[in-house]
Structure formats: structure tokens, C-alpha cells
A = this chain, B = another copy of it.
Amino acid sequence: MSGRLYAISTGPGASDLITVRAARILGKLDCLYAPAGRKGADSLALSIVRPWLSETTEVHTCHFPMSADNDAKAAVWDEVAGTLAREAQAGKQVGFITLGDAMLFSTWVWLLARLGRPDWLEIVPGVTSVLAIASAAALPLAMDQQSLAIVACNASEQHLRDTLERHDCVVMMKVYGRFPAIKALLQSCGVIDHAVMMAEATLPGERCWRDLSAVPDDEPLPYFSTILVNKQWDIRSESWNNS
């Protein structure tokens, strides 16, 4: 068997929301590389895949610094990409795991930019937290002719406002630490009755807020909190508003 590198998406949190393909690959790995260091996310990725790993798989963690020093970060990415390539080219079955989906807001893409698209690389897609939240909250992410935008709440207020005005559906990530400003923005854009907030979707600590007007500004929020807006869905009546 020739060596291969698999970038494996773990899905949003629950171990059984990984794909069958990912679970099968995890069971035949010689070694697994798991990122470590980002707040909560990384130990979560490893805990998701534990039930699927073979007992003989060597698990390595790689620490990606959060520092603002781009050279320091680039040096670590170079080193990890080099290690993954060497292991695969030496004939091993190598995995690298990423929370959610590997191609959406994931550290993996910095490694991809260094590896290119060699024959021995396979990227396995997964369920992003955004999709898991929509299912758990029973709020359609987008339908029919609707347009959808995904933004992080650390974008400028002007960009967030433009996005809320121009799109029917908006996913607002990274709410943590910014809830009062985001709540005020949703009110000012007239969409707060079409928004839900969810934290830790599919995990034991999952929480959903369906009436954001009633959530106090100082509500303690978990790190993984996301807001979904669908202007044509009425949260209270759980129904589609075509007008």
C-alpha cells in the first residue's frame, strides 16, 4: 500500500456526525496529527475521532501558535507540512484532523498552500457547525432563491450591516465577546425576530436562544456561539413568510 495523507474533517462535535468515509480512514491510520493550542477547538477534534481510531495509531499533536508574529506561524506551518509530506512519502497512512470541515475556516488550508495537490493527498469533507446549527435549531439556512452570506462578527460594523441588508440569510460566527453590539445591529436592521443563536451544537452543552431581544447584554456565552438569520422565516410561528 503506498503512503497517503488524509485531511479529515471531524464534523461539528458529536462523534457520529463524522462521515462513514472519515470513520473508515481513521481506523486504518499509522499516525494521526491533531492540531493543539486553539481555545477548546482542538482537544474537541481529537475527542470526536477517538472512538474511530485503531489502537495501533500513533497520535501526535502539533501546536500552532496564536501569536501575531507571521514569520513564527509560517515556520510552524512549514515544519508541519514537511512532516506530513515526509510521513506519506515514506509509505505511511497519515491523517490530519480539523474540526468542522477542512476547507471552511480551518488551519488546514495553510498546510494545503504548502503541500499543493500531490497524488497522495485526499481531503475528506465534513459537516460544518453552520449546518449542524441549522438542523438543531430547525431554522432553514437558505432555500429557493435566497442568498446566503457567512461572516465573522469581528468584521467592521459597516460590512456586517451591508451583509445583513443585502442577503436574505446570514450566518454570524464568532459572536463571543461581541453580543451587545451584534444584538443592537440585528435590532437596527429589523431582523432580530428572524434570528436564533446557538452554542455548542450537537454537544452535551448545546444551547439555543430563540428570542434574542430577551437575552441580556451580559449573558455569559460559550466560545462557540453562532447566530443564524433567515429574513423569511418567522422564529415564533416556525413558518415561512413569503410576503
Contacts and interface: CB of A to CB of B under 8 A. Distances in A.
Task: Using C-beta atoms within 8 Å of the partner chain, give the interface range for chain A.
Answer: 35 or more
Interface stretch (A17-25, A58-66, A88-96): A17-25
B117 A138 contact: yes
A118 to B, nearest CB: 10
Interface stretch (A160-168, A182-190, A211-219): A160-168
Nearest to A163: B147
B238 A116 contact: yes
Given A101-B131, A103-B135, A17 B144 contact: no
A159 B148 CA distance: 12
Contacts of A104: 131, 134, 140-143, 148
B240 A139 contact: no
Nearest to A108: B140
A154 B152 CA distance: 27
B145 A154 contact: yes
A105 interface: yes
Integer count of this chain's copies in the complex: 2
A113 B167 contact: no
Contacts of A75: none
B123 A126 contact: no
Given A147-B155, A167-B149, A20 B17 contact: yes
A11 interface: yes
A132 interface: yes
A50 to B, nearest CB: 14
A116 to B, nearest CB: 5
Given A106-B143, A113-B239, A142-B150, 4 more contacts: A17-B19, A17-B21, A17-B125, A125-B132
